[in-house]
Amino acid sequence: MEQTLPAEFIEMLRSYGDDYAGPLLHGLSEPPQVSVRANILKGATPLPGADIVPWCEQGFYLPERPVFAADPAWHQGLYYVQDASSMIYGEAVNRIVDRFLSKDIPLRYLDACAAPGGKSIAALEALPPQSLVVSNELDRHRANILAENMAKEGSPFSVVCRGDASRLAKLKDAFDIVAVDAPCSGEGMMRKEAEAIRQWSQGLIADCGAVQREILSALWNALRPGGVLIYSTCTFNRTENELNVAFIAEELGGESIGLGLADDYKGIFPGIGTPYHCCRLAPGHVRGEGLFIAALRKPGDAPAQKSSKKTAQKPLSGFSRRCVTVPESFVEQTSPQGITLLPAVHAAFISEISRKTEILRAGLPVAVPKGRDYVPCHELALSVALSSSSFPRMDLDYAGAMAYLRGEILTNLPDGLPKDFVLVCYGGQPLGFVKNIGRRANNLYPDALRLRLSPRYLPPEAPASLITLTR
């Protein structure tokens, strides 16, 4: 691989010292690792004996890349495919909350450049209960994928919006943590994507650095005094990394805070040529791709959350009340597009966000109108807030589950299945809804998600489970 890398890139890395560049250049010639994180919100954990990622107890390496689309558990959101280096986000958020914020109150977290969503998912799992994660993305196609991934994660404490990150700067002092996982020159993706090698140039680095500083300057406004900014990239050069951390410290006034990650985990490198706390994860040093991460505190202090204006809490409609485990923790929003449940503690804040930018998905979409009836949303099936007794259930075997995911009509229904909406499950876990109309059940799996994989590419039997369920 070293020969195919641009000579100027190799020279740049070598200028960072042999102890950094040597292992990294070797690592770039090795195949990438495959890793996944079990969804702890859904009670999933790694199998005993799994090859655990050192800094993420629910993350583990796989010996090879399976066909994830052939595994119902992936569609059910029981695990998420994520590069091991990115999993450091969860531990970083843990330490920030522990050392600089509070574990006892729900926090507001902004992931400003969020698609496809791995770092938002890591944050949701690491933040105190009932914290809100607002995940934003500029690109519409990527924002839709982000919304799908957040729905699979299953937390109702999530908002997905689409637009330029700078729009969220209008939410002054609104967030306890702002994460900027910035668009970058992508040097850390070089061994996965040939495009990252082809597009590399010093000009690209300079352009990316300028865009990053623009995003950071705008979003500094959205961070409350005493809150913490997380800055990260998946690139190796100092311009987009240490020099931007210096910009946050020296131009915006951020206080660099140490999280101790480089001290605690073998292979995590501190920043290069900088007085500020930074961490570098890189192939050859760790089993993962490139990731740079730093955290800076905004001086001052302000309440962790401005008390939301109390939304007059009307009781939920019968349909919503039946669907969720803790109806009193939600407020209901009804519009011609359908019924959505918003976490009561964040409802006023979510309305404020909707006045500043486009929200694609907030809280828990429950149902959409059809004629005089309501049809349950797919998100409800995947939500951890779903009450398990709210719908009749039907268990599918592997072939049935894959037929469901392809969008097929289901026949051979069990005797006595009520003519109603039915929650279809695989391995005891929800997969989606059907409407039983008698001898067959109409498939309500969303068109956009339907599996396009021809049955001939699917294994005849269920693939071995990658995770274990604790509930």
- Binding window for ligand SAM (CB under 6 A); candidates: 132-140, 281-289, 364-372, 437-445: 132-140
Q: Which tokens in the block code for residue 35? A: 């890793």
Strand partners for 293: 232, 279
Selection from 208, 101, 80 nearest residue 153 by Cα: 80
Residue closer to ligand SAM by CB (options 136, 383) is: 136
Q: Which of 12, 44, 97, 115 binds ligand SAM (CB under 6 A)?
A: 115
Report if residue 183 touches ligand SAM, rule: CB under 6 A. yes
Report if residue 181 touches ligand SAM, rule: CB under 6 A. yes
Binding-site size for ligand SAM (CB under 6 A) equals 20
Provide, rounded to whole angstroms, the least separation between the CB of residue 149 and ligand SAM.
Answer: 8
Cα 282 to Cα 385: distance, rounded to the nearest angstrom: 38
Cα 123 to Cα 97: distance, rounded to the nearest angstrom: 11
Residue closer to ligand SAM by CB (options 181, 332) is: 181
Report if residue 117 touches ligand SAM, rule: CB under 6 A. yes
Write the interaction track for ligand SAM spanning residues 61-100; mark x where CB under 6 A is met and - where it is not: -------------------------x--------------
Strand partners for 160: 135, 361
Provide, rounded to whole angstroms, the least separation between the CB of residue 138 and ligand SAM.
Answer: 4
Rounded to 5, what percent of the chain is helix, strand, coil? 35, 25, 40
Residue type for position 253: G
Report if residue 138 touches ligand SAM, rule: CB under 6 A. yes
Provide, rounded to whole angstroms, the least separation between the CB of residue 84 and ligand SAM.
Answer: 13
Residue closer to ligand SAM by CB (options 76, 120) is: 120
Q: Which of 96, 127, 165, 345 binds ligand SAM (CB under 6 A)?
A: 165
Provide, rounded to whole angstroms, the least separation between the CB of residue 284 and ligand SAM.
Answer: 21
Report if residue 113 touches ligand SAM, rule: CB under 6 A. yes
Residue closer to ligand SAM by CB (options 147, 215) is: 215
Burial of 417 (0-12, 13-18, 19+ CB in 10 A): middle
CB 33 within 8 A of CB 117: no
Provide, rounded to whole angstroms, the least separation between the CB of residue 143 and ligand SAM.
Answer: 8
Strand partners for 283: 286
Write the interaction track for ligand SAM spanning residues 230-249; mark x where CB under 6 A is met and - where it is not: ----x---------------
Cα 280 to Cα 290: distance, rounded to the nearest angstrom: 7
Burial of 453 (0-12, 13-18, 19+ CB in 10 A): middle
Cα 13 to chain centroid distance, Å, stands at: 30
Q: Which of 75, 95, 108, 119 binds ligand SAM (CB under 6 A)?
A: 119
User: CA-CA-CA-CA torsion for 145, 147, 149, 154, nearest 10 degrees?
Assistant: -170
Please name the helix (run of DSSP H) or strand (run of DSSP E) that holds residue 429, with its range, or none. strand 429-436
Interface ranges with ligand SAM (CB under 6 A): 86, 112-119, 136-139, 142, 164-165, 181, 183, 215, 234
